[in-house]
Every structure is written in structure tokens, then in C-alpha cells.
Amino acid sequence: MLTALAGFLAVAVTRQGEGFRTLGNWVFIPAVYLACEVREGASAADALRHAGIILLSSPIALALVCAIRIYDRRREDGDAAPFGPPAAEWLLPASATAMAVFAAAALVEMLDLAQGQWVMWSAASVIVGDLSASTGKLKQRAVGALVGVPLGLLAGIALPQSRIGYALAVLAATLTLISFSRYVVGFGLRCFFIALAASFAGGASGIAEERIANVLIGGAFGLVAVALTDIVWLRIVRKARPPI
């Protein structure tokens, strides 16, 4: 329930400006990842340590973001709205996100899926508008996973296991979140570096199947949630119309 609520709020903040969706995502993602890490056996102390590292590094990341934003505002002569216009239709995607994340979390719990955070984030990630847009997002994620993961595994086989290589692969995977304007390229490279990092760590066995399957399963939950919320909303609108 808490995960579903977090997914709802991550989208609901767009009521104050569409740019807040990025903020919501960056709060939702680490929360889900840390929750799944604790669920899969990490101690509470380890989870708190990881959360502390994130909190300590946040001011550095925030300073970099603010510096880039100030630079962009100067180039734009300060005319652009800081967080974009408020989203007119925020309730439907927020409700769909909550529904999809709840279903994905329930599946992860019932089947004890490894890397369950990928299922939940994929369920939330594909919800970007109507069913057509969400389907397009899932196609991009599927292509990225189907291409990036095998290539990452092949590269990992060719290279020796290395802590430095693992650290660089994790860093590169993180940077893909902000480095590419074309989503399919960024996501494909992210899958590549995740598989490469798993190879460097000696845990690549099954990573390809898990990554690809979890992306597709989570995306399917997202599409079903979008379709259901659209159907329910249309029925509500029809009932609310006065008879002619």
C-alpha cells in the first residue's frame, strides 16, 4: 500500500507543475530500491547506511542541478516557467500508477521475484499519458532491454571481474538517466551497464532473464492500469452527463 501511495504522489505532484514529475520519480525510485533491498535480505543497518550515503551525496547533486538550471535560465533570459504548467489531467495517471505499482508489488511478494524493484518501476514508468503513449513507452523499454542486456553480458564475458569495472559500470548506468534525449538509447545503455556490472560482480547468472522479464511484466501492469482507469473514467463521465 505504501509503495502504491508513493507512486500516486510521484505523479500527483504534477498538479503543481509538470516538471515536478522528475522530482517525484527521483523520490520514488530510491525508496522502491531500498525497500526491495531490505526485503531481499539486507539488514536494516545496511539500508540505513545506503540511505545515509544518498542523503549525504544529495547536496552535491542538488548543487550541480542548480548550477545547470541557473545556466539554462540565463540562456533562456528567465522567460521559462521553473516547473512548467500544472498538469490539467493528473488524477488519472496518478491513479493508474498507484494501481499498477500495487499490482506489481503484490506479484513480487506472492512469487518472491528477484529484483522486484524493476517490476514496480517499470509499471510506473510506462504510464506517460493515454494507452497509445504508454504502449509506445513499453515498446521502447522492451527494445532497450532486449538489446542492451545481451550486449552487456557479452561484454562482461570478454572482460575480467573487477571492482573498478563494477563501480564504473554502476556510475555509467546512473548517468544514462540524464545523458540522453532519446529514451530508447538511454534505457538500452542502462540495461547494458547493469548487465555489465552484474558480470563484473560475478552475479550475471539469470540477470538477463530477470531484467527482460521484469521490464515486460511491469510494463504490462502499467498498460492494464491505464486501460482500466480510462474505462472507469469514461463511464463516470457518461453517467454525469444530463439526459438529452
- Eight-state DSSP code of residue 15: G
Domain count, the chain: 2
Cβ-contact 117, 32 below 8 angstroms: yes
Mean pLDDT lowest among 85-89, 110-114, 224-228, 233-237: 85-89
Dihedral pair phi/psi, residue 217, rounded to 5°: -65, -50
Average pLDDT over residues 207-218: 85
- Check residues 37 and 163 and name the one with the higher pLDDT: 163
For residue 53, the enclosing domain spans 9-88
Q: How far apart are CA 49 and CA 61, in angstroms?
A: 18
Res. 80: pLDDT tops 60: no
What residue has cell string 532497450? 144
pLDDT digits (tens, 9 = 90+) for 115-157: 888 899 899 999 988 889 999 999 999 999 999 999 998 998 8
Residues 178/172, Cβ–Cβ less than 8 Å: no
Same domain, 27 and 81: yes
pLDDT, one tens digit per residue, over 156-210 is: 888 888 888 888 888 888 888 777 778 999 999 999 998 898 888 776 667 777 8
Instruction: Give the helix/strand (H/E) hosting 229.
Output: helix 207-240
- Residues 93 and 77 both lie in one domain: no
Range 65-79 average pLDDT: 63
Measure the CA dihedral 14/83/79/180, to 10°: -110
What is the structure's pLDDT at 167?
87
Cell match 529484483: residue? 115
Same domain assignment for residues 68 and 122 = no
Q: Domain boundary at 72, 88, 104, which?
A: 88
Residues 94 and 37 in one domain: no
Report whether 216 contacts 142 (CB < 8 A). yes
Residue pair 219/123 in contact (Cβ under 8 Å)? The answer is: yes
Dist. CA 89–CA 70, nearest whole Å:
29
CB neighbours of 158 closer than 8 A, spacing ≥ 6?
none
The domain boundary, picked from 63, 88, 113, lies at: 88
CB 143 within 8 A of CB 135: no
In a domain, 168, yes or no: yes
Instruction: Say if residue 227 is in the same domain as residue 207.
Output: yes
Which residue's C-alpha cell is 538517466? 177
Q: Which of 206, 36, 222, 20 is nearest to 140 (CA)?
A: 222
Is residue 136 domain-shared with residue 60, that is, in the same domain? Answer: no
Element (DSSP H or E) covering residue 170: helix 163-179
Q: Which of 32, 34, 65 is nearest to 49 (CA)?
A: 34
Looking at 40, 56, 88, the residue that finishes a domain is 88
